[in-house]
Amino acid sequence: MEYIIVFEDEGEFMVRVSRQQSRIQTRERIRSAARREFSRRGYGATTIDVITEAAGFSRGAFYANYESKQDLLLELMTESHEQEVVAWTDLVAHSDNLDALLAELERRFDEYAAQRDWWLLHAELQLEAERHETVGKLHRLYSERTTTGLEALFSALFNRLGVAGVLTRQLLQWRCEH
């Protein structure tokens, strides 16, 4: 359970958030700064010092939350993909009008695909996966999770449409990796 402690200091009220809430806020500021800097400078040119300075924290705060810059990049990509797949899956599950559903899925996909920052991050992650074996292994896990989410999404969509559609796992896996 989260507690916010409010106390009075010389006539003024101050709010302190819990340690867990503070950590969540710190991670979000680091992620936000990293997204901006990776997109602006490129992954290779963005140092941990650049990220922490942009976020207003020390290197220690970074390492208290992430093992490496690669770990942070992978988290950003995973979070982005998972949020979008959940949103698309929710649309499929709760839409009553199939024409409206398809139009909304198309609109959301176009909006997602137009996000320049996302594509730059994706390209950076693929390059890192090719250059570093450890990142390559993590990237394959990321691709597997994404493939599983998309497989469930398309299965639900095909069921809603009453179509005997088959989208092979190999095609989805290839798409997630490229």
> For the segment 63-118, what is each residue's pLDDT rounded down to a tens digit?
999 999 988 988 888 888 888 888 888 888 888 787 888 888 889 888 888 888 87
Locate all alpha helices (DSSP H) within the chain, ordered by sequence.
Answer: 19-41, 48-55, 59-65, 69-94, 98-113, 116-131, 133-161, 169-177
Residue 50: predicted pLDDT: 98
Instruction: Please say whether the dihedral angle defined by the alpha carbons of residues 85, 37, 61 and 12, taken in this order, is positive or negative.
Output: negative
- Right CATH number for 1-66 from 2.40.30.10, 1.20.1560.10, 3.90.1150.10, 1.10.10.60? 1.10.10.60
pTM higher than the cut 0.75: no
Confidence of residue 51 (pLDDT cuts 50, 70, 90): very high
Residue 7: predicted pLDDT: 55
Maximum pairwise Cα distance, the chain: 70
**Contact (CB, 8 A) for 105 and 94:** no
Structural tokens at position 170: 């190999």
For residue 7, what are the β-bridge partners?
14
> For the segment 19-47, what is each residue's pLDDT rounded down to a tens digit?
888 899 999 999 999 999 988 898 889 99
- According to CATH, where is 1.10.10.60 located in the chain? 1-66
> For the segment 117-168, what is each residue's pLDDT rounded down to a tens digit?
878 888 888 888 899 898 888 888 888 888 888 888 878 877 777 766 655 5
Query: Cβ of 86: how many Cβ atoms within 10 Å?
Result: 12
